[in-house]
Structure 1
Amino acid sequence: MTHEAAPTAPATTPATPARTLLPMVVPALLVGVGASLLLLGVSSAAEQLQDVLWKDIPDALGIGGYSSLWMIVMLTVTGVLVGLVVWKAPGHAGPDPATLGLAAVPMQPFILPGLLVATALMLAGGPSLGPENPIIAANVALAAWLGHRFRPALPGVLWPALAESATLGALFGTPVAAALVISEALAGRPMRGRLWDNLFAPLAAAAVGAATTDLIHHPAFDLQLPPIGSPRWGDLLAALVIASSAAVLGMTVVYAFPYVHRAFARLRHPMVCLPAGGLVLGLLGALGGHLTLFKGLDEVGELARNPDGWSAGQFALMTVVKLAALLVAASCGFRGGRIFPAVFIGTAFGLCAHALVPSVHPAVGVSAGVLGILLAITRQGWVSLFTAAVLVASPTIITLLCIASLPAWLLVTGRPQMQLHDDGTSIR
């Protein structure tokens, strides 16, 4: 007589006890507040300096703040100032930004003053980069240093996770983006405890970082585009085509990235690389107009307030110029991130599609364009979906974007990323 083996119950991961999670709450709260305040402090300083450079000085000289000559001069001077910081500051304002992504390795604290000054100068001067990468790097370094100093009993890997999550929460004004990024980072890694146990402290830090930013700065990402009702077959087709086309467009920059970076690297000295990059950015700004300058978030709002205010050709020009500006700024050594400029590129691309085919709803064009560009530039699926969806507050958009992300992801996955190894080759 044969006996069948009794079915075994599926293995379950034991939950982490509350006594293990509770000691992480206070550090998470402190990191959340600190990360938000650092972001707001650097951003506020940059905004005040921007007003001086682009309004007060041109007004005093009696010239247009966004005249072609002033854009060329100002971007070149920004390259000189940032180059001086990179050259002379202790630690040279951190490693080559082309080798960095959202995830940061803790650096020595003495590097941070130069990194933060270079970031503020970049934000004020007009290069097409955002604050996310250097601010995350600074917060990770501070959290790791202070955590090791004052709470050495806690795991060392906890502090970078708290700082990254808190900064993402502060950047977007919501902890959802941080939770999605951490979930994506944990995928495939061995974990102790359940997923929510591992998200507990980072989510707390992200929530406090977001709340601090909301209370002080009141950020708003909804572009207030015309509302979209029930989805139509045409909306689905438009989302699929625009997201995939935007992904292909973004990949052209990704493939060009190591070559452009290598060309600037041949100039060797930061006082040559960065001013040369600034000059190129100034010429691009003169070609594309002042909306193609800076990190792009305020400029996206200006486009969205009047989606029919420019022709398809003008939207196409802004898209191409901003793409080139992002490529140059990321290649020549300016300290900054790529998410916010990519949002502008995707918005301009989506509105170009709307201008070419008026039946394409502006909300569909913008969200699908942002999704495709971000998938190519960041290779962060959740961040791309979240950012594209939050620009257009509509449940309909979320459904369309989830479907449109599938072919767009197939076009970018497994291909080079817009991040380099130390030897200058692309990370895959």
Structure 2
Amino acid sequence: MSDTIPSAVSVRALLIGAVPALVIGVGSALVLRALDLVSEDLQHFLWDTLPGYFGATEETPWWIFLVLTLTGAAVGAIVWLVPGHGGPDSATTELGGPPPKLGAVPTILLVAILGLAGGVSLGPENPTIAVNSALAVALLGRLSRRVPPAFLVLLAVSGTIGALFATPVAAALVLTGTVGALAMPGTLWDKLCLPLASAGAGAVTMILVGGEPIAFELTPMGEYQWIYLLQGVLVAGVSALLGIAAAFVFPYLHRAFHALRNPLIFTTLGGMILGVLGIIGGPITLFKGLAQTADLLEHPGDYSAPELALFTAVKIVALLIAASAGFRGGRIFPAVFVGTAFGLLAYALIPGIPISLAVACGVMGIILAATRDGWIALFVGVVLTGDIAVLPLMCLIIFPVWLLVTKAPELVVHPRQEQDTREAA
């Protein structure tokens, strides 16, 4: 059998590819849902049940510091001592990177659960994609050589993104550029239909097993005004600058932590710093940020401008510390919280700007800087507001913001960046 996808698109080829696409989509959603349920149960125990035995609550400063510190120590010990070592460092990986070895899967799941439950400011996307990619290549790659490992990884990424957002639309948008570069014949749709099938299977499965789409409703923007363009560019541009600044210091922070060499030391230290940040910003600045984003959007009038500024600053620093100190997790969901808090801050400070436009542009700017992907930045910005009317304006606003971020550093640590930071030091 050939080690590559057939040289011509045919019904038979698509039918053969549909089997792993659907299986991987369903499996990706089940893995993500299991990860969510286990981490949520542990989170409830750590933050709601256990502190009561010690006369504390989730808002008690010493409890926040203790849980984050012990979470750092537990993750560091696993990365240091347990075979598999928690898989690849999430700071150095993007969503579609090479799959880890199958033997690393248990420890990837374990450190991801500890981080999610312990209040670490990272999301589940990177570890879940790593696990799903490893399982797809290890299990399905042995059954058929007609589908190469790289395409199985693409299907795993698609299925996981579909499950994460409970809709295949995000995966279709994110993967448009990726599949367009695939060495296979046919139109863009020929290349996209199998990843989209995987994303659809992941999204439907996630909803059937209890997952919920990421969707909120803010006050609609109403009639367009030309001033909205200038306001939107200002909000999205400043938000993107926050992401660029974070990306600039990221490799230096990563190198500083890892200079301590032992994961038990530098991840515990990271947990201690996260504990202090959690005390400063409060419980709303802990965890991956999705539920906390919902709190902000459901009660936007409950927070003053200084509070929103504090949430924005604390969360972006917490994201950098968590990603630099050896915790495993993704950077998208915490960045969404940062963008939401900043968007609400802009709404409080800029006279006349609609709340939906302010939030959409705040999220779009930092997601664009963090992911360097305009599709996902647009998608998340619109989904969070529930106001489709912002989309045409955002399609104009994104252009100058893209010019701002296109040559800026990415929010990921590459080997070359590590070398540059050493030379600069």
The TM-score range, normalised by the shorter chain, is over 0.9
Question: 1:186: which partner in 2?
Answer: 179
Question: 2:88: which partner in 1?
Answer: 95
Question: 1:29: which partner in 2?
Answer: 22
Among 148, 168, 182, the residue aligned to 1:175: 168
**Superposed counterparts of 1:336-415, under 5 Å:** 336-415=329-408
Question: 1:135: which partner in 2?
Answer: 128
Identity level (%): 45
Question: 1:330: which partner in 2?
Answer: 323
**Superposed counterparts of 1:209-288, under 5 Å:** 209-288=202-281
Q: Is the 8 A contact 2:127 2:328 kept in 1?
A: yes
Q: CA deviation at 1:222?
A: 2.0
Letter in 2 for 1:286: I
In 2: Cα distance, 1:358 partner to 1:67 partner: 37
In 1: Cα distance, 2:77 partner to 2:182 partner: 41
1:201 aligns with 2:194: yes
Q: CA deviation at 1:424?
A: 4.6
Q: Is the 8 A contact 2:51 2:58 kept in 1?
A: yes
In 1: Cα distance, 2:382 partner to 2:418 partner: 32
In 1: Cα distance, 2:83 partner to 2:185 partner: 39
Could you say if the C-alpha distance between residues 42 and 413 of structure 1 is closer, same or farther in structure 2, counting changes exceeding 3 Å? same
Could you say if the C-alpha distance between residues 85 and 261 of structure 1 is closer, same or farther in structure 2, counting changes exceeding 3 Å? same
In 2: Cα distance, 1:426 partner to 1:102 partner: 23
Question: 2:116: which partner in 1?
Answer: 123
In 1: Cα distance, 2:233 partner to 2:59 partner: 37
In 2: Cα distance, 1:251 partner to 1:278 partner: 24
Q: CA deviation at 1:61?
A: 1.6
Q: Give the gaps of 5 or more residues in structure 1.
A: 1-13
Question: 2:294: which partner in 1?
Answer: 301
In 1: Cα distance, 2:226 partner to 2:414 partner: 43
Question: 1:8: which partner in 2?
Answer: none
In 2: Cα distance, 1:395 partner to 1:49 partner: 37
In 1: Cα distance, 2:199 partner to 2:398 partner: 25
In 1: Cα distance, 2:206 partner to 2:213 partner: 11
Which protein has the larger Cα radius of gyration, Structure 1 or Structure 2? 1
Could you say if the C-alpha distance between residues 218 and 137 of structure 1 is closer, same or farther in structure 2, counting changes exceeding 3 Å? closer
Q: Give the gaps of 5 or more residues in structure 2.
A: 1-6, 421-425
In 2: Cα distance, 1:405 partner to 1:309 partner: 29
1:54 aligns with 2:54: no
Q: CA deviation at 1:224?
A: 1.9
Q: Deviations over 1:126-177 (max 9, x none)?
A: 0110000110011011001111222233333221111010000000011111
Q: Secondary structure at the match of 2:287?
A: coil
Q: CA deviation at 1:416?
A: 1.4
Q: Secondary structure at the match of 1:334?
A: coil
In 2: Cα distance, 1:156 partner to 1:356 partner: 50
Q: Is the 8 A contact 1:284 1:325 kept in 2?
A: yes
Letter in 2 for 1:374: I
Q: Secondary structure at the match of 2:85?
A: helix
Question: 1:45: which partner in 2?
Answer: 38
TM-score (norm 2): 0.94
Q: CA RMSD in A?
A: 1.6
Q: Secondary structure at the match of 1:391?
A: helix
Q: Is the 8 A contact 1:76 1:275 kept in 2?
A: yes
Letter in 1 for 2:248: Y
Among 307, 311, 329, the residue aligned to 1:318: 311
Mean CA deviation greater in 386-395 or 126-135: 386-395
In 2: Cα distance, 1:232 partner to 1:44 partner: 45
Q: CA deviation at 1:379?
A: 1.0
Q: Secondary structure at the match of 1:129?
A: coil
In 1: Cα distance, 2:174 partner to 2:306 partner: 36
Q: Is the 8 A contact 1:85 1:114 kept in 2?
A: yes
